[in-house]
Structure 1
Amino acid sequence: MTLRELRIADYRIADDTDAYVIAEIGHNHEGSLDKAEELFRQAAAAGAHAAKLQKRDNRSLFTKAMYNEPYTGRNSYGPTYGAHREALEFGRTEYAHLVALAADLGIHFLSTAFDQRSVDFLVDLDLPAIKIASADVTNTPLLAYAAKSGKPLILSTGGATMEEVRRACDTILPIQPDLALLQCTAVYPASPSDLHLKVIGTYREEYPDTVIGFSGHDLGPELSWIAYAQGARVIEKHFTLDHSRPGSDHHFSLDGPQLAELTEGLRRTREALGEPAKQRSETEAKAVRKMGKKLVAARDLPAGHVLTEQDVLCKSPGDGMKPYQLDEVIGRALRIGIGEDTGFEPAMLAEPVRAGAAAGADHGAD
């Protein structure tokens, strides 16, 4: 059987591994390199495998009208939408600094590319993988361009139909098979009923060679554990220093303690799932002996006694012949006398007399 597998730098992601956890910072750094540094440090301390930003070439990404439209309110970082986006955008200096910081912290630095110039920007910095946002599932020119970069891709699928997901995968996979396909819902925050985690199984069935994941906008870490149990091996959650900060993402993001709870819970989930083969473990042996049953003598029985059902009971502990072996006891004679509650053993039972052998012995006597 083919084992789906994806490698991001030195980390192997597969069905038999822990989840690869991405702390999605987005623009929760609020344009501050100091805050970004702290987010990276807390993500690493919480056990995340990667910290992720978002990269846009704003002037080429938005129409002039959208770039210049007024943008005011609590979440605004500039008087127009373009100014707001530029205030939150990191350039080469900040990215290079964070590349070095991530290396020191021992985590990966990833980013979402929203346009082709941003793909080039991230490739030039040699980030180990590129994320493509749900908004670009239908952007086949961008998908193809990113696939040709040679970098592993991570694709979220919020707001997409299955037809659109197939088109996206048909665009990427012939060029770049190193893809993680993430179930996602474009609701912020998403309620449990929005998540449709069974889609993870749908993706796994349709793409048996592709690592499947979950990008969650739900509150808290718990439902990501269920996603792992459904087969998701990349888990992406938004991450913040403070839920109360202005910005559209802070309120549904995880903070440091919640991210640590997420990563620890994912490890526990893998441990709990265990192996698919049903077998008795060494840790069960004590309980199996204590609570299990064995075949014992119902009363004192003499040597030579031929055993009947009335001579045998099932009692604990379960350290002898099992109840399902009753047919191996009934009808056989005891080689030795035994006391009440003595457990039966094959060695104490005479071999049963075969019907054919008995008939032959009678014929010879005639």
Structure 2
Amino acid sequence: MRSIEISGRAIGDNTDGYTIAEIGHNHGGSVEQAVKLFQAAAAAGASAVKLQKRDNKSLFTQAMFDEPYTSANSYGPTYGEHREALEFGQAEYEYLRSVAGELGVDFFSTAFDVASVDFLAELGLPALKIASADITNTPLLAHAAKTGLPLIVSTGGASLDDVRRACETVLPINPQLALLQCTAIYPAAPDDLHLSVITAYREEFPEVVIGFSGHDLGPELSFVAYALGARVIEKHFTLDHAGKGSDHHFSLDPAQFTALTEGLSRTRAALGSPRKTLGSREAVAVRKMGKKLVAAHALPAGHVLTEADFACKSPGDGLKPYQLGELLGCRLARPVAADQDFALDLLDAR
């Protein structure tokens, strides 16, 4: 049975959705803002809050690190300085770990390089996220798998062969794997999401927990993802859609994230059991609107029953219409009045 465990919480086919508030760098490099985001995400019912961790000096070529970055979202004159301005170090991570603990939410991060994997693992965080961009980075996947931590891997921009290769890299080392269907478009329109891939993943990888990392606007299509079998749901999170940064505009705000967590709970409740049964709460309506077999007209004792002798009428508290065949051709042991229920004890046993 597919399942992973994060901080003692099982995540699998028979569980609620595990919701990740992807804060990324929406904190703008401010620990105080990160705390506010953690608090708002916890209040909205998030299972986990997540940041992103990069060792920028080793991650980028020197040319890319030094490349001018003049975007309105820039926090520095070069791309490397921009990224450095948004990074938290050991002290900030330790503090935020304690904040998350007090709030009762899991806290982990996306590792973009080997040094970041080691940093996060040594910090004792309960899981690791690997971004879509590294679905083909088998050395990083293998290194992350060797930590023994549950891995959550997004699959945006990947082919099925890429996803297979990633699974073949991770699973022999570490069975604690969740794959998230994802589309690397920001924001993604509904027809970009291809949620049916969730079903394909479940068939292709029966031992792996499947999820959804959504860059679509709003929470609604995550309910569809859950219904299809996604059990890890990741959505970007912000306090201000107009905030400085490239992720705020497609992130969920606290009210939307609350709608996500509450809606996922309703979705699970609505899915219910695959066994089709008559529920006790249906009985009143079934009696009121259902049909039973009654006499179409008065019938004398000794009469041999034909189809013309029967009517199907409400309430449905007697013999069902499908039992008509059991009565046809039988002889009545005693008279039956019009509209009287038919019952087997009315029949002549001879």
TM-score interval, smaller chain: over 0.9
Q: Structure 1 residues 330-339 or 169-178, which shifts more?
A: 330-339
Separation in 1 of the partners of 2:13 and 2:169? Answer: 24
Q: CA deviation at 1:71?
A: 1.1
Q: CA deviation at 1:16?
A: 1.1
Report the residue type matching 2:113 in the other structure: D
Report the residue type matching 1:213 in the other structure: G
Q: CA deviation at 1:163?
A: 1.0
Q: CA deviation at 1:246?
A: 1.4
Where do residues 178-217 of structure 1 align in structure 2 (5 Å cutoff)? Answer: 178-217=176-215
Instruction: For structure 1, list consecutive stretches of 5 or more residues without a partner in the other structure.
Output: 354-366
SS of the residue corresponding to residue 195 of structure 2 reads coil
Residue 43 in structure 1 maps to residue 41 in structure 2: yes
Q: Structure 1 residues 255-264 or 339-348, which shifts more?
A: 339-348
Separation in 2 of the partners of 1:229 and 1:73? Answer: 39
SS of the residue corresponding to residue 333 of structure 2 reads coil
Q: CA deviation at 1:336?
A: 2.7
Number of the residue aligned with 1:270 = 268
Separation in 2 of the partners of 1:46 and 1:191? Answer: 24
Residue 343 in structure 1 maps to residue 341 in structure 2: yes
Q: CA deviation at 1:220?
A: 0.6
Which of 112, 115, 124 is matched with 1:114 structurally? Answer: 112
Q: CA deviation at 1:153?
A: 0.2
- Percent identity among equivalent residues? 67
Number of the residue aligned with 2:242 = 244
SS of the residue corresponding to residue 52 of structure 2 reads strand
Number of the residue aligned with 1:166 = 164
Q: CA deviation at 1:134?
A: 0.4
Number of the residue aligned with 1:299 = 297
TM-score under structure 2 length normalisation: 0.98
- Kindly provide the CA deviation profile for residues 167-222 of structure 1, in whole angstroms up to 9, marking residues without a partner as x: 11110010011000011111111111111111111111110011000101111111
Report the residue type matching 1:138 in the other structure: T
SS of the residue corresponding to residue 83 of structure 1 reads helix
Number of the residue aligned with 2:254 = 256
SS of the residue corresponding to residue 328 of structure 2 reads coil
Q: CA deviation at 1:302?
A: 2.6
Q: Structure 1 residues 281-290 or 249-258, which shifts more?
A: 281-290
Instruction: Compute the RMSD of aligned alpha carbons.
Output: 1.0
Number of the residue aligned with 2:309 = 311
Q: CA deviation at 1:275?
A: 1.4
Separation in 2 of the partners of 1:82 and 1:312? Answer: 85
Q: CA deviation at 1:346?
A: 1.3
Q: CA deviation at 1:34?
A: 1.0
Number of the residue aligned with 1:363 = none
Number of the residue aligned with 1:219 = 217
Report the residue type matching 2:47 in the other structure: H
Q: CA deviation at 1:94?
A: 1.0
Where do residues 100-179 of structure 1 align in structure 2 (5 Å cutoff)? Answer: 100-179=98-177
Separation in 2 of the partners of 1:41 and 1:335? Answer: 76
Q: CA deviation at 1:334?
A: 2.2
Report the residue type matching 1:272 in the other structure: A
SS of the residue corresponding to residue 272 of structure 1 reads helix
User: How many residue pairs get matched?
Assistant: 350
**Larger-Rg structure:** 1
SS of the residue corresponding to residue 37 of structure 2 reads helix
Q: CA deviation at 1:300?
A: 2.0
